[in-house]
Amino acid sequence: MSTLDYIIIGSYLTGLLLLGFVLRHQRNRQDYFLAGRDLAWPALTLSVMATQLSAVSFISAPAFVGLREGGGLLWLSYELALPVAVALMLWKLMPTLHRIGVVSVYDFLEQRFSRFTRLLISAVFQLSRSFATAIMIYAVSILLQSTMGIGQYVSLLAIGFITLIYSAMGGMKAVVYGDVIQMLLIVMGAAGCLWLGLDAIGGWDPVLAIVDPARLQAVNTSSFGVTGNDFGLLPMLFGGVILYASYYGCDQSEAQRALSNSSVANLRKMLFAVAVLRFPIVLIYCLAGLVIGALVTTNTELRQLIPADNPDWMMPVFIVHYLPSGMLGLLVVAIMAAAMSSLSSAINSLAAVTTEDIQRVRKIKLSDSQYLKRARIAGVIWGIITLTLSLFAGEIAPTIIEAINKIGSVFYGPVLATFLLGVHSRRVSAKGVNIGLLTGVAVNLGLWLGGSELFWFWWNVTGFLTCICSAVFVSRITSTKRTTLPSVTGLSMVEAVLLISWAGGLIALCLSLPALLTLLA
């Protein structure tokens, strides 16, 4: 890296600290965790996507497409269920949570079921989110090791220290505004890598001549995904609807953005934009992986720099060797920024849940200043925990991005089922849903730890169905008191048809993608 690259990186990190300092004034918990509900929905849209389309996506999705054995453009099938998931969230779940006006989405479960339900599911969230975020930060340590030559411990400290300061000072506003910058940088970086990769290899003709035709298949219709990691269409659709609806609607780190909208109408615009914009961005990531994977295949020197058992090194090695001075610094900034986006979002949401839970359990009334002080302390503690976990985050799946989704698939089904039962069913009791949640998670953990051959994307479905069946059964055989809350519908028939049609259009595009790529040559 050149002096110019280091100046760019240093300037950006300094700018983040200044952002947190400028936005450090908050009056109460609504200001700190929901930005006073006055942020524009386009900014919230970019923030939502920045949290998930993060450094992990930039580094690991191309690695899956370009180098992972059994990988390829199949990664695009992850995106096919998102529009349907958005329709499910907008039906009643997200409008109801927004109208109730909660800071933590798990507060809804206390009002609908019991305090124990709230504490139980918030514990599930804190466990899964801290581990998933640790894996994201681990991904960035790979980049910094390869580009800047610094050790894992130093890179983690650098990322963590700066993120903790600006997110703790600036609250949700600092997180969202930082995310907007980070999202723009990471998309431009991915597009730049695609362009430079094509220039280095000589265009699409050599790419298509080198790449195994199997890697061009974006949809696998020949398998039900019952065994192994074959990414069949059915588990990607059924499991994907549950995963995305749970992630965007029931995971505090994402739902907090939705709750920060000023109205249900803006919430709807935000989720529609996410449903439409995610696929083109992921397509850029995947095409970059296809091109760079072909380049690595033909370049022995590059191939030797990538560990055989760790394809995630592909993108860092490429940017070090092919990006010009200045652009390299911008791309390192982009990836660091994406990691900081994930970490700052996790810190803010974990702090929100923890502070709210402690206040409820101890039944104490805090002043605004006391609340904000405890929220910042909770954020710092969770930041330290997450960074510590990131030191042990490399052994779960062949690529980092699979590891994150594998962890999520254990929890997302039961969590979504719990929320949907709370919104849509008046007959399910607190006792029933508590047992259902625990049973759903236990079944999925049993599948994982027991070495089941069932493709892990199906765990979203098994956990979802197990939780619902157990909750309904226990509620019917007990006479526990039930509480109901008013629900709000936020989805029209026209909007539902548009979202489902978009999902159908994406499936058709993916099926025809090999032929379309051939036309480019």
Can you give the pTM of this predicted structure?
A: 0.82
- What local confidence, expressed as pLDDT, does residue 504 receive? 94
Reported as a single tens digit per residue, the pLDDT across 153-206 is 666 666 666 666 655 555 666 677 777 877 887 888 888 889 999 999 988 999
The pLDDT assigned to 155 comes to 66
Statement: residue 291 has pLDDT above 90: yes
End-to-end Cα, the chain, rounded Å? 34
* pLDDT of amino acid 342: 66
Least confident of 104-113, 329-338, 510-519: 329-338
Lowest mean pLDDT, pick from 73-77, 258-262, 474-478: 258-262
In this prediction, residues 343-355 reach a mean pLDDT of 73
pLDDT at 4: 79
Is 232 contained in some domain?
A: no
The set of residues, in sequence order, having a beta carbon less than 8 Å from that of 156 and lying 6+ positions away, is 137, 141, 387, 390, 391
* 254: confidence class by pLDDT, cuts 50, 70, 90: confident
- Pick from 333, 315, 237, 233: which is nearest to 10 by CA? 333
Q: Residue 230 domain-assigned?
A: no
Query: Is residue 420 scored above 90 in pLDDT?
Result: yes
The overall average pLDDT reported for the chain is: 80
pLDDT above 60 for 396: no
Domain range for 400: 3-217+242-513
Tokens encoding 192: 């730049």
Write the CA distances from 328 to 5, 178, 303, 341, 473, integer angstroms. Answer: 6, 20, 20, 20, 57
| Alpha helices (H) along 74-151 | 82-88, 94-100, 106-112, 115-148
**Quick check: 418 pLDDT over 90?**
yes
pLDDT (tens digit, 9 = 90+) per residue, 20-74?
Answer: 666 555 555 555 556 556 778 888 888 888 777 766 677 778 888 988 887 889 9
Tell whether the model's pLDDT for residue 440 goes beyond 60. Answer: yes
Rg for the chain, CA atoms, rounded: 22
| Position 325 in a domain | yes
Identify the band that residue 360 occupies on the pLDDT scale cut at 50, 70 and 90.
low
pLDDT at residue number 149: 63
Whose structure tokens read 């524009």?
A: 40
In a domain, 234, yes or no: no
Q: 469 pLDDT exceeds 90?
A: yes
Average pLDDT, integer, range 236-255: 87
Indicate whether 282 belongs to any domain: yes
In a domain, 281, yes or no: yes
Decide if 211 is inside a domain. yes
Position 128 scores a pLDDT of: 76
Tokens of 51: 């949290």
| 47: in domain | yes
How many domains is the chain built from?
1
- Mean per-residue pLDDT for 281-299? 91
We report the CATH number of the domain holding residue 53 as 1.20.1730.10
Please write down the HEC assignment for all residues of 12-35. HHHHHHHHHHHCCCCCCHHHHHHH
Average the pLDDT over 213-234 and give the result: 81
Main-chain dihedrals φ then ψ at residue 514, nearest 5 degrees: -55, -40
Q: What average pLDDT does this structure show over 304-320? A: 81
Q: What is the mean pLDDT of residues 488-508?
A: 88
